[in-house]
Amino acid sequence: MFREAYDMNPASPYGADFPQGTALKVLVAEDDPSLRMILGKLLGEVVTLRLAEDGLDAWQQFEASPPDLLVTDWMMPGMDGLDLCRRVKMASNFCYVILMTAKDALDDKVDALEGGADEYLVKPVDPRELFARIRAGARIVAAHRKLTDESRSDKLTGLGNRRAFDEALASEAARSERSGRPFCLLIGDVNDFKCVNDTYGHAVGDEVLAAIGQALAQTVRKGDTAYRLGGDEFAVILPDCPEQGGRECLGRLTKAVESFRASAICAPVGMSLGVAVFEPGLATTLDSLIKLADERMYQAKRCARKPA
């Protein structure tokens, strides 16, 4: 059906009503060059598309940059579509899989679905059905993104939460080991925050935390990420950053926080921060990195309490 439909009208707008703004990343694995070209023409204008010439090529592309949705043929040399599907589903990344094949026996459909395929299309595939399946997949991907974002976001500050921090820190450490470049971790908390809550109430305390989250997010470099770990404790991950750069960032963040004034508080709100550097190749554990940044934060807090 692909060839016939494309030959009759190569500009046929099967994706004309495809939801705009979805930024859907699609990977197509098809070993037939002509079908791969047609799929590229049909899908290329409505999704962010990559093409793979077989299952192994698709798997390598998936490992390098996981897509949101995979459209794969079943019968391919090297690694077939079902093996590809199983590998994709075993990976931690969420990916919606549409398996296409000329196999139409019930046992084949059951094998495909039990192998992890989310949709099963029998060739020849009508482009209208393919787009309908992709649109359905896009809705599921969007719902998954929303749930994922909500599970990793701190509602009060809009920053990443502890779960997001743990995942990002592990990812950054792995990336640092691969690249050979260090990164810095900042950990800090609000000075005398209990006194703020006790004196002015929790509504003002929430205002302070939200404003500090905004100050951190606006002050860090592009590519740096800030998190609320819980209570009045915050963290910032600084990729590709030596210790001196981390100390400079610490100074900027301290000033940014001190410039904030809560509506009910006349005095500036202070924040103590500590910095630790992850040097690749030194077998530094993430627990020890967090502990060091925490210790330096408490050192800064003790210094802030000393009388002038």
Whether residue 153 contacts residue 164, with contact meaning beta carbons closer than 8 Å, is answered with yes
List the catalytic residues. 232
Q: How many CA atoms lie within 13 A of 164 on its CB side?
A: 22
Whether residue 211 contacts residue 220, with contact meaning beta carbons closer than 8 Å, is answered with no
Closest CA to 238 of 308, 306, 173: 173
Whether residue 273 contacts residue 297, with contact meaning beta carbons closer than 8 Å, is answered with yes
Maximal C-alpha separation, the chain:
84
Cis peptide before 182 (omega within 30 of 0): no
Helix ranges (H only) for 91-192 are 106-114, 127-151, 162-179
Which amino acid is located at 172 in the chain?
Answer: E
Helix ranges (H only) for the chain are 2-8, 33-43, 55-64, 81-90, 106-114, 127-151, 162-179, 193-200, 202-219, 243-258, 286-305
Task: Give the CA radius of gyration of the chain.
Answer: 26
Which residues lie across from 230 on neighbouring strands? 233
Coil, strand or helix: which one is 149? helix
Coil, strand or helix: which one is 159? coil
